[in-house]
Amino acid sequence: MTAFIDSSPCPSPRWLPGGHLQTLYGALLAPTNRVRFVRERIDTPDGDFLDFDWSAPGIVTSPGHQSIQTEGLARGLAAVRWINDDDRQIIAAMGDTPALILLHGLEGSSSSRYAQSIMQYFRARGWLVVLAHFRGCSGTPNRLARAYYSGDSDEVGFILQATLGRSPLAKWHIAGVSLGGNALLKYLGEHPGQNPKLQAAVSVSAPVDLVAAGNKLSQDWVCRQLYTRHFLRTMRPKTMEKATRFPGAIDVTRLSRAKTLRDFDDVYTAPMHGFKDAQEYWEKASSKPWLRYITLPTLVINSRNDPFIPEPSLPGTKDASASVTLHQPAQGGHVGFTTGEFPGHLNWLPAQLARFFQSIR
C-alpha cells in the first residue's frame, strides 16, 4: 500500500500572495501569543547538552513566582526560569494526558513564531508540551565543536528517550518543523516501531530531498538574498565562536568566505558531522528514501509553493508507506500558513496537527 495525498487548501488570504510573502510574513510579522516555559538542561552521552523548554498544566511561569531560578539563563528567551523538583513531579505525574514534543527548524528556538503558535495552541487545550532545542540553538553555545544537522537520527532518538521517560504515562505525539521535520522522518523510517509510546507524528515543511532544497537555496538569487543570508547571519558567528574554542578544528578562512548554504555545509556541517562534503551530507541526510519504512501514523505537510523546496522534489504516493499522509496544499509558503483577515493568524497549522492527532486516537 502507498501513501495518501491530501490536497485540501490552506486558505491563504488575498492580501498575502505568493510563497515568499507567505513565508516571510509568517516568520517575522504574523501575530502570535507568547508562551513562557521552564527550561531543563540534559547532558548527552558525548559530553554535550540539550535544552528542553517545558510547559504544562500546574507549572507556574509568571515572572513573580517565588521559585524563579534564572542564573545562567540567557536573556530574551521564551524560557523564564530553570525547571525545579516540583515541576518534574508535575510532569511525571501526568497520566493519560496528551503531550507534544516539538523539534524546531534551522536556527529556530522556542521563541520562533511557528513554535509559539503550535505550543500555545496545544498548551491552551491542556496538553503537556516540550520543545527540544538542537545544540547551540537555545541561546547558550554548546560544549563541543559539533553542532546539529538535518539527518541526525541519533539526536532525535536521544530526545525521545529523554522526554518520554520524564512522563511515562502521557500520550505522546511528536512534530518536527523544516530541518527538525526531516530529521524526525529519517528517524521514524530508520527505527520503525521503536517507540511504542508515540501515538503519531507530524512533519511540517521538511526538505525531504536536501539536494533539491540545498541547491535552490544556494543557486537561486532571490533565495540567497532572502533566506541564506538570514541563516548565515547567526550560523557563521556561532561557528566562528567555536573556532576560537577549538583551534584547528574549523577552516576559518573558508568559513569567512562562505556565501551560500553549500559553502557553509562544505566547510563546516559536512566535515564536522562525518560527511565528505555538502553533496554527500545532503544525499545521506535526506529523509525521502526512508518514508516508505515508516509505520507510525505520520502526517507530512508541504505547501506546493514553498519558495526553497521545489515542488518536483516533494514525495509522491509511491515514496511513502500507507502509514503516511501527504498533505500538500497549493499555498502556505515555508512554515508560513497565515490565514484570516489582516493581520492574520497562525492557527491553521496547529489545527491541522490537532485534527490529525485526533483522527488516529
177-187: pLDDT as tens digits: 999 999 999 99
Burial of 244 (0-12, 13-18, 19+ CB in 10 A): exposed
Is the pLDDT reported for residue 162 higher than 80?
yes
* Paired strand residues for 173: 100, 200
Average pLDDT over residues 90-112: 96
CB 195 within 8 A of CB 304: no
* Cα(59)–Cα(232) distance, integer angstroms: 36
- pTM recorded for the entire structure: 0.96
**What whole-number distance in Å separates Cα of residue 272 and Cα of residue 171?**
36
Residue 20, all three cell numbers: 515568499
Q: How confident is the model at residue 71 (pLDDT cuts 50, 70, 90)?
A: confident
Q: Any residues with CB less than 8 A from the CB of 221 and at least 6 apart, and which?
A: none
- Residues composing the chain: 361
Reported as a single tens digit per residue, the pLDDT across 223-247 is 999 999 999 999 999 999 999 999 9
Asked, as a colleague might, if the bond just before 196 is cis with ω within 30 of 0, I would say: no
- Taking the C-alpha atoms of residue 72 and residue 81, their distance in angstroms, rounded to an integer, is 10
Cα 231 to Cα 134: distance, rounded to the nearest angstrom: 15
Integer Cα distance of 183 and 342 in angstroms = 34
- Cα–Cα distances in Å, from 166 out to 78, 103, 128, 169, 188? 21, 17, 11, 9, 21
In three-state secondary structure terms, 266 is helix
Q: How many H-runs (helices) and E-runs (strands) does the chain carry?
A: 13, 10
Given this model, what pLDDT does residue 1 score?
66
Kind plus residue range of the DSSP H or E element containing 131 = strand 128-132
Domains of the chain and any CATH numbers: 4-208+286-359 (3.40.50.1820), 210-285 (no CATH)
Nearest to 184 by CA among 132, 113, 142: 132
Cell 515542488 found at: 311
As to burial, measured by CB atoms within 10 angstroms (0-12 exposed, 13-18 middle, 19+ buried), residue 228 is buried
Selected residue with higher pLDDT from 144 and 196:
144
- In this model, does residue 65 exceed pLDDT 70? no
Q: Is the pLDDT of residue 317 over 90?
A: yes
- The label of the residue with cell 573556532 reads 243
In three-state secondary structure terms, 185 is: helix
pLDDT of residue 278: 98
End-to-end CA distance of the chain: give it in Å, rounded: 21
Instruction: Summarize pLDDT for 320-344 with one digit per residue, the tens.
Output: 999 999 999 999 999 999 999 999 9
pLDDT band, residue 62 (cuts 50/70/90) = confident
